[in-house]
Amino acid sequence: AQSVTQLDSQVPVFEEAPVELRCNYSSSVSVYLFWYVQYPNQGLQLLLKYLSGSTLVESINGFEAEFNKSQTSFHLRKPSVHISDTAEYFCAVSPTTSGTYKYIFGTGTRLKVLA
């Protein structure tokens, strides 16, 4: 079985400051890792994903996440946030052998960017 822990339910940060949203997972098998962003009353949008290869993955809007296998973490970072980054962020894992693409989501972190 897999589980995902997002320890921070809310993260307030001032505009143009850096931010890190933490994600730790537990799994007895290898997994793919994802970060999704959800704006109010909307579905989830894929932000970035780790499948294999380089442990540092980047998104087109300045976010990056690093897969750390020894610490079973996949923290999300951005060096300088904007007001528009205010949203809910979900970390998710999916077993690589899962033919069903069953995702397990964390409880989410609400990022609030302050002016």
Closest contact distance (angstroms) between CB of 103 and another protein is 6
CB-wise, 9 or 80, nearer to another protein?
9
Binding of residue 95 to another protein (CB under 8 A): no
Residue of 37, 35, 115 lying closest to 81 (CA atoms) = 115
Query: Of the listed pieces 15-23, 46-54, 55-63, 70-78, which binds another protein according to CB under 8 A?
Result: 46-54
Binding of residue 61 to another protein (CB under 8 A): no
Binding of residue 46 to another protein (CB under 8 A): yes
Cα-based distances in Å from 111 to 86, 96, 102: 5, 29, 26
Q: What are phi and psi of 96, to 5 degrees?
A: -65, -25
Binding of residue 5 to another protein (CB under 8 A): no
Q: Quick one: the chain helix, strand, coil %, rounded to 5?
A: 5, 50, 45
How many other C-beta atoms can be found within 10 angstroms of the C-beta atom of residue 28? Answer: 8
Binding footprint of another protein on the chain (CB under 8 A): 32, 34, 36, 41-46, 49, 51, 90, 100-103, 105-108, 110
